[in-house]
Structure 1
Amino acid sequence: YVRPKTGHFLPAISTMASSYRNTRPAGHNTNQWSTSSYHKNDGTVPTLQRAIPDLLRTVTMSYPANRSTMSTRYTPDDWFKSNQGNYRQSEASRHSAERLRRDTMRLIQDKEQLTRRMQENTSKDIGERLNDIAFWRSELSHEVDNVAGETVALAEVKRRLERALAETERPLQVSQECMYHRDKRMAIDLVHDDVEKDLIKQEVEVIKSCQTRMKQHLERATAQLRLNRAAQHELERDLSDKVTAQRIDDRCHHLRNTSDGIGFFRGIERLDPPESWSKFTDNNVLRSQGQRAASRKLRDEIEALLNGTSSEMWSQFNNVNVSFTSRVAQTADARNSLQAHLTKQTQQEIFQTEMLIESLKKALRDKDNPLKVAQTRLEERTRRPNVELCRDNPHHLVEEVREIEDTIRKLQERLLDAEGSLQSLLRTKVTLEHDLSIKVNSLFLDQEKCMSIRKTFPSVPRLT
């Protein structure tokens, strides 16, 4: 039997009980020795005995007669060594606990000072940040007001330019209307006269050139307004962010360890925001200032454009009015000659062609019944039985049907030709009437309508 190496445990109860012998008389008590009886007589209560369950206390333990089990017990030297080991372990544990307590208290004090110092530094940094935010808020507010004022001024100039562009539409419409009606002249009447030259090469081109420049500047003004509003939007958004950040930092600046609303937010320290803060706001301000400078320059260009285009259009308008008077007499003579030609020839020929068409339609209607009779006879004769269904003399009905169909085809062709001729005459009539209406309209346009409308050409103040 090998003795256990450790000295921290007492021998097993069963081993100790087996080494005792029953020395009581035979008639004293028939119960065997129990552990509780042994320790009661001895006067000592071991620790393990107090931990034994009640069930084991009541169990009787026989004392073996074999003394060889005494060899399983520990020696007194083992017992003293076990006690000394426990004492040394207790001393070491106590010294280690004292050292840990001293180090921990010193660590707590150091970390408390470090935490308080870092919290003070953070509060100081937040206070400085609040001052920076207040400064940039002031800069942003000032720039927002400036760019808003510039946007209003540019929008007003843009409205003036739009009104001036709208004022040019009426003179251009009058000129284009004159050109449009004069372009309706046909054949020899379509003359490239002095009026057309003045309208196309001078007045219309001048007005369109002015309109093109105005539209270009309108597009530039629209784009510049968009840029101004975009810059203002960026400033306002930055300003709104500054207000929100100031409110948040102000609340953070007043937070204390005893404040309400503080809590744990695990992982928030891993957030890595960008550092270019003041540069972003400075770029917004510089961008807004650049847009304001471009807007002022564009307003000056629009003012100069309004003055220049109004003078050009007014000067050319006066030059064109002289060209309208020389063409009225020639147009009146051509109108009278055209009216006589239309009445004497075209209308009479149209009447005769319409009568021919009616005759052809009647002839076609007259061929319907003969064709029906011939086809009915052929259909009936197909019912003859057996050999009676032969090609006899009456079978020439086939030729009759073909002849009538050929006659109908030729009459239909002539009808189509007559209708085509009528359409040609009608188109000629329409052309002559249209040409006549163009002459009348040209006289009305040149003599009454155009000259009366051109007297209401916008003045220079209205254009500018």
Structure 2
Amino acid sequence: MELFGSTLSATYTRPKTSHFLPAISTMASSYRNTQPALIMNPSANLWRTNSYYKSSIAPPLTSSTQRDHFDLVRAKTALYPSNRSALMTRYTPDDWYKSNHSNYRESESSRKSAERLRKDTIRLMQDREQLTRRTQENTSKNIAERVNDINFWKSELNHEIDNMVTEIGALTEVKRRLERALAETEGPLQVSQECLYHREKRMSIDLVHDDVEKDLIKEVEVIKSCQERMRRHQDRAIAQLASNRAALHELEKDLSDKVTAQRIDDRCHHLRNTSDGIGYYRGIDRLDHSVSLPDSWSKFTDDNILLSQSERAASHKLRDEIEILLNTTSHEMWNQFNSVNVAFTSRVSETADAKSNLQSHLAKTLQEIFQTEMLIESLKKALRDKESPLKVAQTRLEERTRRPNVELCRDNPHHRLVSEVREIEDTIHKLQERLMEAENTLQNLVKTKVALEHDLSIKANSLFLDQEKCMSIRKVFPSMPRLVGYT
């Protein structure tokens, strides 16, 4: 502790030496301080006073002498407190000169280092300015090349989009024609089915599986087969249109992205150091949001174009197949329609001939029935005519049985009367048999007449069905242009 009434003594210590300026370049070794002793060992003995060294080499004191010395020092320091600091912080003149020379050397070294730093910095700024300018020019050139690449792929995409739009329109038109042709087949199919339905109303022997029915069944099968092929191609056309539109969507999306990228790169290409809107974006160079490389970027667009070209080729092939299908189905249906009409004509002619023959036979049968009926009447009259002669002959025989005794003779009159009765009875029997035969014949003729009349009604019904019902609705058939989808 300090004694009251004494002044505080200041302690002076030498400041630690350090570099004049920090190194700011890769040549920091050229700016090092030339005083390594003072820097590396701040507690060096340069600051210590001569009294310290002298006291360290003084001869050793005896115990009594040492005790007296300590008492003297304690008394001096007790009376003069400032002496205590002065003994420990005093420098020698050599120290003062050394310190000045050290400061001179350090100042000169710092100035040389600063000069080297200034020159190196100016050269560095000039080099970096040229490097920055060249880099910026190369970057602008690369951006311009990128814009040219984008323009090239844009033109390719636009060309392919135009081709795809044209192909979609052509396939849509063919699909619309196919739908119209498919709708046109419903009428002929309904006509064929109605013809089969009407011909089911034929009666008796005319309900035959003739050529007309075979051709009608074949016509229904042909129309249904054509419809099935049309529906399959229609489904394929719908699927192909979906694929075409998907490919077109990818092309348009890619084109939209390239338009946006071109606008951004074009704006970047025209940016200058004096442009408005430039600013700092710290750390942006360490972020990488890219999702593709130049090869994958160009391959992506090339793949989209190749996919579109492949879909266009498939669509064109499908259009050709649909055109062939429409022509094939129209010819098949027309040929079968004509075959059915020819079969109908032939069948109607055959039925008409059969009806005519039946009418002729019916007329002859009616004539024969009339004559047979007249014969029966004649036979009945003949039988009635034989009754009286038979009665006369039998009466005569009966009267002659009353002759008396020997007069009851079997004479020639008796023999003749017996013969007459038997002849008349035989005649009556034969006439009755013939009458029975005539009546049976008449009955057969009547049955034949009924059969002929029934068959005539059957033929008339068949003619009505084939000629009036079927042929009348088969007069109208879709024309060839309508069967291939044209209105």
TM-score (norm 1): 0.54
> Is the counterpart of residue 310 in structure 1 residue 310 in structure 2?
no
* Residue segments in structure 2 that go unaligned for 5+ positions in a row: 1-10, 17-77, 355-461
Contact 1:214 1:305 in 2 (8 A): yes
- Call closer, same or farther: CA 1:298–1:8 in 2, change over 3 Å: closer
Aligned to 2:406: none
Contact 2:189 2:223 in 1 (8 A): yes
Preserved contact between residue 7 and residue 78 of structure 1 (Cα < 8 Å):
no
- Does the Cα contact within 8 Å between 1:7 and 1:81 map onto a contact in 2? no
Q: Give me the whole-angstrom Cα distance separating, in 1, the residues matched to 2:463 and 2:113.
A: 124
- The match for 2:473 is 453
How far off its partner does 1:129 sit? 2.4
Q: Which amino acid in 2 is paired with 1:169?
A: E
Change (3 A) 1:316 1:248: same
Task: After superposition, give the CA deviation of every residue in 1:130-150 in whole Å (9 maximum; x if it has no partner).
Answer: 233333322322222222222
Tell me which residue corresponds to 1:92. Answer: 109
Q: Which structure's CA Rg is the greater one?
A: 2
Pair 1:247 & 2:293 matched: no
Report whether the alignment pairs 1:104 with 2:121.
yes
The match for 1:210 is: 226
SS at match of 1:261: coil
Instruction: Tell me, in whole angstroms, the C-alpha distance in 1 between the residues paired with 2:277 and 2:174.
Output: 54
Deviations 1:167-196 (A, max 9, x none): 11222233345667889x9xx99x884465
In the TM superposition, what are the counterparts of 1:49-448 in structure 2 within 5 Å?
64-65=79-80, 68-69=83-84, 70-76=86-92, 77-176=94-193, 193-194=209-210, 197-200=214-217, 202-269=218-285, 270-271=287-288, 272=290, 273-276=292-295, 277-321=297-341, 322=343
Is contact 2:215–2:336 with CA below 8 Å preserved after alignment?
A: no
Distance 1:73 1:268, change over 3 A: closer
In the alignment, the residues of structure 2 paired with residue 118 and residue 237 of structure 1 have an alpha-carbon distance, to the nearest angstrom, of 33
Contact 2:191 2:474 in 1 (8 A): yes
Query: What per-residue deviation string (whole Å, max 9, x for no partner) do you get for residues 276-324 of structure 1?
Result: 2333333333333333333332222222211111111122223335469
Cα distance in structure 2, aligned partners of 1:233 and 1:80: 90
By how many angstroms is 1:119 displaced? 0.6
**C-alpha deviation, 1:210, in angstroms:** 0.9
Paired AA for residue 314 in structure 2: A
Per-residue deviation, residues 22-79 of structure 1 (Å, max 9, x unmatched): xxxxxxxxxxxxxxxxxxxxxxxxxxxxxxxxxxxxxxxxx95367524223222444
CA gap of 1:133–1:64, structure 2 versus 1, over 3 A, is: same
1-side partners of 2:197 and 2:175: how far apart? 31
Does the residue aligned with 2:279 lie in a helix, a strand or coil? coil
Instruction: Report the 3-state secondary structure (helix = DSSP H, G, I; strand = E; otherwise coil) of the residue aligned with 2:294.
Output: coil
Q: For residues 192-222 of structure 1, what are the alpha-carbon distances to aligned partners after superposition, in whole Å with 9 as ceiling and x for unaligned?
A: 844654443x012111111122122222222
Q: How many residues align?
A: 294
Amino acid at match of 1:274: L
Once the two structures are TM-superposed, the CA of residue 443 in structure 1 deviates from its matched residue by 11
- Which blocks of at least 5 consecutive residues in structure 1 are unaligned? 10-62, 330-441
Task: State the alpha-carbon separation in 2 of the partners of residues 265 and 445 from structure 1.
Answer: 93
Q: Is the Cα–Cα contact under 8 Å of residues 7 and 79 in structure 1 kept in the other structure?
A: no
* CA–CA separation in structure 2 for the residues paired with 1:119 and 1:97: 31
Q: Is the 8 A contact 2:12 2:89 kept in 1?
A: no
CA distance in 1, matches of 2:110, 2:208: 123
State the distance in 1 between where 2:100 and 2:199 align.
Answer: 134
Superposition RMSD on alpha carbons, in Å? 3.8
Structure 1 pair 176–102 and aligned structure 2 pair: CA distance change class (3 A):
farther
Question: Greater CA deviation, 172-181 or 214-223?
Answer: 172-181
Distance 1:267 1:182 in 2: 91
The CA distance in 2 between the partners of 1:73 and 1:214, in whole Å, is: 117
Shift of 1:244: 2.0
Per the alignment, do residues 80 and 299 of structure 1 end up closer, same or farther by CA in structure 2, a change over 3 Å counting?
same
Structure 2 contact 198–469 (Cα < 8 Å) conserved: no
Distance 1:91 1:444 in 2: 137
C-alpha separation between the residues in 2 aligned to 1:452 and 1:222?
38
Q: 1:86 to 1:314 in 2, by over 3 A?
A: same
Post-superposition Cα deviations, 1:404-434, rounded to whole Å, max 9, x if no partner, equal xxxxxxxxxxxxxxxxxxxxxxxxxxxxxxx
Query: Residue 164 of structure 2 contacts residue 248 of structure 2 at CA under 8 Å; is this kept in 1?
Result: yes
Distance, in Å, in 1 between the alignment partners of 2:234 and 2:114 is: 86
Q: Which letter does structure 1 place at the counterpart of 2:476?
A: T
1:267/1:196 CA distance change after superposition, 3 Å: farther
Change (3 A) 1:173 1:265: farther
Identity %: 68
Structure 1 Cα separation of the partners of residues 237 and 102 of structure 2: 97
The code of the aligned residue for 1:65 comes to Y
Aligned to 1:258, the other structure's residue is in SS state coil
What is the deviation of 1:106?
1.9
Closer, same or farther: CA 72–178 of 1 in aligned 2, 3 Å: same
The one-letter code sitting in structure 2 at the alignment partner of 1:173 is Q
For 1:90 and 1:234, the matched residues in 2 are separated by 73
Closer/same/farther in 2, CA of residues 6 and 237 from structure 1, 3 Å limit: same
Taking structure 2 as the reference length, what is the TM-score of the superposition? Answer: 0.52
